[in-house]
Amino acid sequence: MNNYNMVYFGNYIDWDLVIGFLSMHLVTWLLFLVMLTNYVKTSNVHASNAERIERKEVLKVSVLMFCSYALMIPIEYVVTRLDFSSPYFPYTVYLLLDHFTVLFLCLVIGIYSDKGRLCKHYVFFGLLCNSALFAFIQIDLLLMYNHYKSMEPWWFWSVFTIGINFFDAVMILVLLSCRDILLLHKLESQFLARRSKKLRVGELK
Q: Kindly provide the residue ranges of all beta strands, DSSP E only, lying in 128-171, ordered along the sequence.
A: none
Task: Read off the pTM.
Answer: 0.83
Distance of alpha carbon 60 from alpha carbon 175, whole angstroms: 10
The crossing angle, in degrees rounded to 10, of helices 114-145 and 155-177 is 160
pLDDT tens, per residue, the chain with 205 residues: 444 454 444 455 555 555 555 656 889 999 999 999 999 988 876 778 888 889 999 999 999 999 999 999 899 888 888 888 888 888 999 999 999 999 999 998 889 898 999 999 999 999 999 999 999 999 999 999 888 888 888 999 999 999 999 999 999 999 999 999 998 878 877 877 777 776 666 665 5
3-state helix, strand, coil in the chain (%, to 5): 75, 5, 20
Cβ-Cβ contacts under 8 Å for 34 (sequence gap 6 or more): 62, 65, 66, 172, 175, 176
